[in-house]
Amino acid sequence: MGNWPEPARNYPITQKEVADLAFETAVWEENGLVHIAGLDEAGRGAVAGPVVAAAVILPLSAPERLKLLVGVHDSKQLTPKKRDGLYELILEHALAYGIGRVSAEEIDRIGILPANVQAMEMAVGQLKPAADYLLLDGRIRLKNVPLPQQSIIKGDQKSLSIAAASILAKVSRDREMVALDGEYPAYGFVRHKGYCTREHEMALLTHGPSPVHRHSFAPIRRPML
């Protein structure tokens, strides 16, 4: 490891609900890489609004800053209030972060999987300092990004960097959907964030799709029964 500072090993190990740094530490110790970015997305399964991805590099050599991120975990398992608070902490204490978005119109044009990849590539491109290794939630890989990568199933529950990215992506997208609710109040975006609830389906039956709906997605693509 040469003169690399001692990594913050698996912090915090006492909090069962908090993802740890096992993957990040392994990459650091085995490869000497410290700018390890976790990536995740939000909105992939929605029928309205963008898909949003985030990339986060945590300060692995600064355990005093990592301690402030206690509670960071898979965004889906956190309350909106908790996510909002952690969002601000992550922005303040991350070494670097990036957020990419791809619109509903572009999703219709290229498909959701390419759009998801595109949003992640945007997020990686914003990182300063740049990443030298990527940890990605799920099975996705970024073929256009010339960096070593590791895909982790349920990574948002296992890697602190990916969990942090999941929170940034989720909160960023939720806030955009709340703003879109002001433009298109008939659909209830403020409540369901563009996902296909019964309320949302009834609004689509009544009003038809808006410009921010994904017209290539069911139930918009075909008549609802």
pLDDT-derived band at 75, boundaries 50, 70, 90: confident
> In terms of C-beta density within 10 A (0-12 exposed, 13-18 middle, 19 or more buried), how is residue 164 classed?
buried
Report the DSSP pairing between strands 133-137 and 96-102. Answer: unpaired
pLDDT tens digits, one per residue of 192-211 = 999 999 999 999 999 999 99
**What's the average model confidence in pLDDT over 74-90?**
89
- Average pLDDT (120-149) is 97
| CA dist., res. 162 & res. 20, Å (int) | 10
What fold characterizes domain 22-183?
A: Nucleotidyltransferase; domain 5 (3.30.420)
* Domain boundary assignment for the chain: 22-183
Q: What pLDDT band is residue 218 in, cutting at 50, 70 and 90? A: confident
pLDDT score of 224: 45
pLDDT at 64: 86
Average pLDDT, integer, range 166-170: 97
Q: At residue 3, does pLDDT exceed 80?
A: no
Res 7 pLDDT > 90? no
